[in-house]
Structure formats: structure tokens, C-alpha cells
Amino acid sequence: MGHALRRFRHDSPHLPRFNPRRSGLTEKFPDLNELPPELAILILSNLNATDLCLAMCVNDFWRQLAMDDLLWQGLCYATWGSVSAYHKKKDANFSYRELYQRLMTTPSFHWNAELGIEYLLRDGILNNDPKAIAYFINSTNRLDRSQVRRFVTGRQEVLDELIKLDNYTDKMLPIALRSFFAKWSLRSSTVTGCKCCWRSLPNGTLRAIHNAD
């Protein structure tokens, strides 16, 4: 359970059971104040970050619920599926809400991917490892694809790892290559030199796709 639920249970061990009639549920939607904390948290878990911030402005009760780290952990994982900070030992002051805000305010890929990655590495949010960087890039749609293209063009080792992450087992080779190029807005000339994953491809196929681009 999140911090808010534990705090409510400690401060109010005898919370009343939710009564639909007493709360007026048959006539109107109940206020979160009238619901058990577990149910209130479940409702708030369907909100995005903007709506959670708005919920904090309603009253103190809503603010405590909307700040629950369990909600922000879910938003972090839903928005960035792979971040090195998730797997590091966390101190008592660690907050997923603060991590979410730091990820959102990264001086980011919208104008300079290199600076964005440097910021994440410097703050310990991302490990300085090609695989960790590739997993981060592959796990989110928040990054500007043109900046991703510029970044991986200069970081061959990260591009190699990105290729490994996609499963093209059941696809014809030309289709597999083209889907990868389309996903990352890459030209085939950028990746035909990758040494890790396409060794088994016939040279004629790679040449044909390269020429057709």
C-alpha cells in the first residue's frame, strides 16, 4: 500500500464502512472524503499527472491521497518503462513523484538529446551503459524521434542494442528492416553497418533495401 493509506489507517483505525445510501450514491457521485482510502486511491490511479496535480488543489484530504507515491510509481512505469533508477537502492527521501517531475523536466530530446542523456546520467537516473540507454529510449514515446535519430546515429553501440530489443522472428527480412527504420525514423544507411544483429541477413537483401530507400 502507499504512504497515504498507511497514514490514514494509523490516524483513523476505525474508519466507517462505506454506505451507499448514507453517502448519497443513489443520487450523486460520492466525494472521495466519503470513500474508504483504498477505493479513493483506486479511483485516482486512473488519472494522469496533470489531473493528479489538480486533485491536490481540492482540499487537504485529496492532496494527501494524490501525493501517494504508489500513484506516482504507476505513472513513472507507465510513461517510462525502463529507468535505471527503478532498480537502485532507494533512501528514505526517495520519491517517485519527484522522479517523475525530473524525467518530465529533463532538458530534453526536444532540442538536444545529448544534453538530455547527460542530465539523466549525471543525476543517476540512468546508467551510463548502452543497454540501459537503449532500454530507456525503447520504453517510452515521450522522446522526440528526430532527436533520437541524431543521438543513435552518433552512438553505434546504443543503436546495436536497440536493434536487439525488437522481435522480428515472424517477419520477412525486408519487412523487419523497414519496420525498424520507420520506428526510429532512420535511413537504412544508418544501420546497415551494425555488426551485432544483421550478420545473418543476405547481403543482397541489405543492398536492395539500402538502394530502395
pLDDT value at position 178? 74
Rounded to whole angstroms, how far apart are CA atoms 117 and 148? 11
Annotation: CATH topology of 84-155: Annexin V; domain 1 (1.10.220)
pLDDT value at position 212? 41
- From residue 11, alpha-carbon distances to 7, 57, 73, 92, 201 in Å are 6, 22, 24, 21, 64
If you search the block for the grid coordinates 524525467, which residue do you land on?
Answer: 103
If you search the block for the grid coordinates 522481435, which residue do you land on?
Answer: 167
Per-10-residue mean pLDDT of the chain, 213 residues long, equals 54 51 53 76 88 88 89 94 92 92 75 86 93 93 84 86 76 73 61 49 42 42
Pick the closest to residue 161 from 202, 191, 123 (CA basis): 191
Please state the domain extents for the chain: 3-73, 84-155, 166-213
pLDDT value at position 184? 66
Cβ contacts of 4 within 8 Å, gap of 6 or more: 37, 41, 64, 65, 67, 68, 70
pLDDT value at position 72? 95
Query: What does CATH list as the number for 3-73?
Result: 1.20.1280.50
pLDDT value at position 143? 85
Whether this model's pTM surpasses 0.75? no
